[in-house]
Structure 1
Amino acid sequence: MSDYFIAILLGIIEGLTEFLPISSTGHLILAEQLIGAAFPSTFETMIQLGAVLAVVVLYFDKLWSVIISLPQNPASRRFTLAVVLAFFPSMGLGALLHDFIKSVLFSPLVVSITLVVGGFLILLTEKLRPKPHVLVVDDISISLGLKIGLCQCLALVPGMSRSGATIIGAMLMGVERKAAAEFSFFLSIPTMLGVFAFEGWHNRQQLLAQGGQDLLLIAIGFVVALITAIFVIKLFIGIVGRVGFAPFAYYRIALGLVMLGIFWPG
């Protein structure tokens, strides 16, 4: 199986899973292990920006209206500050623990365990969540945004899911499902821009080695993830509005148990 085909396959997996509460990074780690791919360590994190750009494409009107109204609109400033402040906790902690995360936690066994744990947390949240009092994403306050950003730190453990941690955290704090999902989408933009820049700079020598082959593989995965994610986001919002997050929880638990059977030592 050629590296180019594998890059396309992993790009599709990234686009399909980035905005679902099932962990895109976890799926990429498992997929690479199962097919025996030996890609650069930056591949999984850097192609995520491709999927995240789908948010810019689909929500361009919303984002542009916020940008041009920042000087005179307090609601736009509040929304922007909520997203920006939510970004900092995971970025700071991720930079601090970067080497530990990559060397210890990027493991199929860790992913398998956290898939199961996260699945049960989603089911528990769906059962115990309070009645929503924040019904639209524009009503998320600065302080609430920061609290959701703290929840995002859980996603530094592969398999927990960035979108899952932020959406479930927001729901537990009284945010309606759709609003929680949309805030998670917007929060992904600065988060993955930061990760992309950090990984690119931190691994610049490796990326430029071998005549730029690693960069080409990342570019292929990046573009495929973008195209795939555009179709997934709208579908995801529709599913959440109708049936909630329980189907994703059952999927996580089933996949995690199967992978535990494969990767458990001995």
Structure 2
Amino acid sequence: MDFIELLKSAFLGLVEGITEWLPISSTGHMILVDEFISLNVTREFWNMFQVVIQLGAILAVCVYFFHQLNPFSPRKDAEERRGTWVLWGKIVVACIPAAIIGILFDDFMEEHLYNATVVALALIVYGVAFIVIERWRAHRFEARVAAEGLQAGSRPAGAHFARPAEDVEPTEGGDFGSITRLEDLPWSTAFGIGVFQVLSLIPGTSRSGSTIIGGLLLGTTRSVAAEFTFFLAIPVMFGASALKLAKYVFLDGGTFGMNEVSIMAVGCVVAFAVSLAAIKWLMGFVRRHTFTVFGVYRIVLGVLVLGYFFLIA
């Protein structure tokens, strides 16, 4: 067992735990990190590792939101249990588009898209998208304020609005949208967010970024978009991990010795611990701030990566 390889795995777990939930692309960051800090493993194991390490991150969601996701909780009444089953139904429906495309084109994407250039371009494109969408939402908010004669910084009665119109909270960086509670998320909107998730199959796009963008465009608040993104990750990541593990063992002929098991365990444990902190932080952040800062980060990182590989590497 190589201690240096375990340190590398722990660092990769740190990167995964932070970037999985922030809309900056965990897979993209893992590919970029591999350009500079490579595990001493086979390429087949690495292709599997960078997906399966997400299990640590997704277990953090299961722990953090256990009560909300548990339909058998004794603390819930019959109506709340039915609501939980409905939520799981919407999660499954939203998974269908990406599951179909992912299974059909997994080999093609792994061969042609998993490289630094694609990651950098995706970082830039969706970074611009975040900035444009947040500005568009801000302009709609300003128009709503002007139309209703509200003063900036005031809060109208029933803020967060339950009306089906474009709902706003008139505070700087306020969390506004027509769908303000996860319980009110329509089935059609859940499926629409799932369609946006297909974009995340391109490395560098960010699964959380694509679904959050979809939620914002379809009328959810940032907090609803982020929370549904967390829940949507559960079947997606478990399914993707199972697919990669099966491919590694049955198609690539991969094996798990003590070294491989140790690397995988360390990476998953670190990703789990870091993810708990990242989820808590992001849920507080989105209620008070826009996603513009993530858009700027993506653009800067994408430009730096392109500059490095075209001018230096």
Q: When the two structures are superposed, what TM-score results if normalisation uses the length of structure 2?
A: 0.80
1:253 paired residue number? 299
Match among 121, 125, 146 for residue 191 of structure 2: 146
> What SS does the corresponding residue of 1:160 show, helix, strand or coil?
coil
TM-superposed CA distance for 1:178, in Å, is 0.3
- Equivalences, count: 266
2:117 paired residue number? 109
1:211 paired residue number? 257
What pairs up with 1:128-207 in 2 under 5 angstroms? 128-129=136-137, 131=166, 132-205=177-250, 206=252
CA distance in 2, matches of 1:8, 1:215: 13
CA distance in 2, matches of 1:208, 1:120: 40
Q: CA distance change for structure 1 residues 172 and 179 in 2, over 3 Å: closer, same or farther?
A: same
Percent of matched pairs sharing the same residue = 36
TM-superposed CA distance for 1:66, in Å, is 6.7
1:82 paired residue number? 90
Amino acid at match of 1:258: L
**Larger Rg belongs to:** 2
Match among 10, 13, 16 for residue 12 of structure 2: 10
1:142-175 CA distance string (max 9 Å, x none): 2211110010000000000000000110110000
TM-superposed CA distance for 1:62, in Å, is 0.6
What pairs up with 1:6-85 in 2 under 5 angstroms? 6-39=8-41, 40-65=46-71, 73-85=81-93
TM-align CA RMSD: 2.1
TM-superposed CA distance for 1:118, in Å, is 0.8
TM-superposed CA distance for 1:196, in Å, is 1.0
Residues 67 and 73 in structure 2, CA contact (< 8 A), matched pair in contact too:
no
Amino acid at match of 1:115: L
TM-superposed CA distance for 1:77, in Å, is 3.3
2:310 paired residue number? 264
Higher helix proportion? 1
CA distance in 1, matches of 2:277, 2:24: 17
2:226 aligned with 1:224, yes or no? Answer: no
What pairs up with 1:225-240 in 2 under 5 angstroms? 225-240=271-286
The farther-off stretch of 161-170 and 78-87 is 78-87
> What SS does the corresponding residue of 2:102 show, helix, strand or coil?
helix
Residues 208 and 215 in structure 1, CA contact (< 8 A), matched pair in contact too:
no
What pairs up with 1:117-136 in 2 under 5 angstroms? 117-129=125-137, 131=166, 132-136=177-181
CA distance in 2, matches of 1:256, 1:133: 33
TM-superposed CA distance for 1:56, in Å, is 0.8
CA distance in 2, matches of 1:66, 1:152: 28
The farther-off stretch of 32-41 and 96-105 is 32-41
Residues 82 and 144 in structure 1, CA contact (< 8 A), matched pair in contact too:
no
CA distance in 2, matches of 1:13, 1:162: 15
Residues 137 and 183 in structure 1, CA contact (< 8 A), matched pair in contact too:
yes
TM-superposed CA distance for 1:234, in Å, is 0.8
The farther-off stretch of 171-180 and 80-89 is 80-89
Residues 67 and 76 in structure 1, CA contact (< 8 A), matched pair in contact too:
no
Amino acid at match of 1:226: F
Q: When the two structures are superposed, what TM-score results if normalisation uses the length of structure 1?
A: 0.93
Q: Which runs of 5+ in 1 are unaligned?
A: none
CA distance in 2, matches of 1:256, 1:15: 20
TM-superposed CA distance for 1:211, in Å, is 2.4
Moved over 6 A (4+): 66-71
> What SS does the corresponding residue of 1:243 show, helix, strand or coil?
coil
